[in-house]
Structure 1
Amino acid sequence: MKYLVMVQGTQADYEAMSGKGSPESPAWNAQQLEAMYAYMAAINDDLSETGELVDGQGLAEPARARTVTLGDDGKAVITDGPYSETKELMAGYWVLECASLERVTEIADRVTRCPQPDGAPNYPVVIRPIMDGAGDLC
């Protein structure tokens, strides 16, 4: 079965990782950032070795996002970057092929334990089964 495993974050979190803390997210130092990247790389390496990793990527900060919606006139309405009231957005993902929901849940639990500075927000790791083109689960 294939699953999409998503981690979340906010623009403030991305800024904190570049050293600009806020009341919502304390500034990260170079060692904390390096520890986070090493932790995630170890997860990716382990998933590659088990053959469960299909794809996985971190995403650019929300300020670099573009939203396209359908306007009342039937034309596209394009907005760059998040609105100030935007909350958590997907910060990264893995597409995994795992034998069971229990296995992918174990992996998500490991992701939640990623090192971060004290006081940094904790977000849930979201697991979604992937459906094939016929509407069946992969």
Structure 2
Amino acid sequence: MRYMIIVRATPMSEAGVMPEDPKLLQDMATYHEELARAGVLLDGSGLRPSREGWRIGWAGAGKPVLTDGPFAETKELIAGYTLIQVRSPEEAMEWSRRFPRPFPDGVDCEIEVRRLYELEDFGTDPAIDRMREIGVGTSER
């Protein structure tokens, strides 16, 4: 089972403010080292502010529309993520409880944890087989 631990954006992360407290980075490094030693870490990274990104949207049957960042609702944005692969929801919950505070004291922040779909969840279909062949959407390591 793969889970994404999502660090919600804050006005601080959207402003591109890098962590000044070395303890925050040390705590993140230690946590990710523990994940790696346990063999459950797949990936993790911070995301640049939304002003450096874009969205592509589709309305009805219309053509795709490009919208440049920044995006207004900071609380709905993602500042970073950690991707883990574990044996159970309980194990994912335990790892997420250990996630270090992602922003300094005094900054309201939260993480969200979501399970990823596996290709097996979509049944059998030649398109799913194609995805499996290129290694997309699988829990294989």
| Aligned amino acid, residue 4 of structure 1 | M
Take 1:109 and 1:94, find their aligned partners in 2: how far apart are those partners?
13
Partner SS state of residue 48, structure 2? coil
| 1:75 aligned onto 2:74 | no
The answer on whether the counterparts of 1:52 and 1:97 sit within 8 Å (CA) in structure 2 is yes
Q: Note if contact 2:53-2:68 (Cα within 8 Å) is conserved in structure 1.
A: yes
Is the aligned partner of 1:122 residue 2:121? Answer: no
Could you tell me how far apart the structure 2 residues matched to 1:73 and 1:131 are?
26
1:76-91 alignment to 2 at 5 Å?
Answer: 76-91=64-79
Please, what TM-score do these two structures have when normalized by structure 2?
A: 0.73
Partners of 1:41 and 1:85 in 2: CA distance: 29
Question: SS state of the match for residue 87, structure 1?
Answer: helix
Offset at 1:83? 3.0
**Matched positions, count:** 123
Unaligned runs of 5+ in 1: 19-27
- 2: CA distance, partners of 1:115 / 1:59: 13
TM-score (norm 1): 0.75
Question: In the alignment, does 2:104 pair up with 1:105?
Answer: no
Residue identity matched to 2:36: S
Percent identity over the alignment is 30
- What displacement does 1:86 show? 4.4
- Cα deviation for residue 16 of structure 1 reads 7.1
Aligned-pair CA distance for 1:121: 0.9
Matches within 5 A, 1:1-138: 1-10=1-10, 12-14=11-13, 15=15, 17-18=17-18, 30=20, 32=21, 34-71=22-59, 74-111=62-99, 113-114=100-101, 116-123=103-110, 125-135=111-121
Structure 2 spans left out of the alignment, 5+ residues:
123-137
State the distance in 2 between where 1:85 and 1:42 align.
31
| Residue deviations 1:88-111 (CA, integer Å, cap 9, x gap) | 311111221112212211221122
> Which residue identity lines up with residue 121 of structure 1 in the other structure?
D
